[in-house]
Amino acid sequence: MREIGCGPHGCLELLSKRVGPSGSVVGVERSQDAVDLARKMIVERGLNNVEVLCGDARSTELPPASFDLATARLVLVNVPEPEQIVAEAVALAKPGGYVAFHEADWVAHICDPPSDAWSALVELFVRYSEQNGIDPFVGRKLPRLLRDGGLEDVRVNPLIHVYPPGNPRRSILLDFAENLTERMLAQNLIGEAELAELKTTLRRHVEDPGTLVVSHLWIQAWGRQPV
């Protein structure tokens, strides 16, 4: 099995358990820092059937048609031209093998009571994504990307969660805003003082236990490589 854009942990441990001692898992990740962390995790957890390679998911240089499963989680929502990664995943799956993705779609990420700061930060994130060729609504397109990539029997499983008080994902919009602050300021998408005020207001809102926070829409889709 192969995980694309596995990051420092991803699904490597799950896949390792799934294939068992006689199987093997290959992670491919472009960030050398994430590769180093993933390799450390593999050693610490004794995942002897897993290896992680530093490489580009669009062109892995792994042997084509050689994996029972090629999979990725939350990678397409971060890259321009996601069809390139889908094409490589399809090429790596054996005839009759599977390709499976888990992706985000920002359509469902809402809160209640409504918050102007929440709406402004979502709108800012969407503008940042558009300006950088990234599609925050790629989740809904996933089944089509898999069919267009040549897979058969494409299935879809949508998921949505509520993040209750204490759940770290409650502040995910703020985490995005923090991570992207320098890039959004450099691209003149917003002024520093305005962004700081939005983040302070939103932090108060999500820390209020009475605020409902709904996750992104997660779309899981998978299909089979024709025999």
In sequence order, the 6+-apart residues with CB closer than 8 A to the CB of 83 are: 145, 148, 149
Q: Which residue bears the tokens 């499963």?
A: 69
In angstroms, what is the minimal distance from the CB of 142 to ligand SAM? 15
Q: Which residues, numbered 126-185, are part of the site for ligand SAM (CB under 6 A)?
A: none
Residue closer to ligand SAM (CB basis): 108 or 120: 108
Q: DSSP letters along 200-211, please?
A: HHHHHHHHSTT-
Q: DSSP letters along 144-157, please?
A: HHHHHTT-EEEEEE
Interface with ligand SAM by CB under 6 A: which range of 5-13, 163-171, 181-189, 201-209?
A: 5-13
Residue closer to ligand SAM (CB basis): 29 or 105: 29
The 7-36 contact track toward ligand SAM, x by CB under 6 A, reads x-xx-----------------xxxx--x--
In angstroms, what is the minimal distance from the CB of 16 to ligand SAM? 14
The 76-105 contact track toward ligand SAM, x by CB under 6 A, reads --xx--------------------------
The 41-80 contact track toward ligand SAM, x by CB under 6 A, reads ---------------xxx--------------xxx--xx-
Residue closer to ligand SAM (CB basis): 58 or 127: 58
Give, for 129, the enclosing helix (H) or strand (E).
Answer: helix 116-131
Q: Is 222 helix (H, G, I), strand (E, B) or coil?
A: strand
Torsion of CA 167, 157, 141, 74, to 10 degrees: 40
Q: Is 24 helix (H, G, I), strand (E, B) or coil?
A: coil
Residue closer to ligand SAM (CB basis): 88 or 163: 88
Q: Residue 180 to residues 5, 32, 51, 128: CA-CA distances in angstroms? A: 20, 20, 31, 9
Query: Which residues sit at the interface with ligand SAM, rule CB under 6 A?
Result: 5-7, 9-10, 28-31, 34, 56-58, 73-75, 78-79
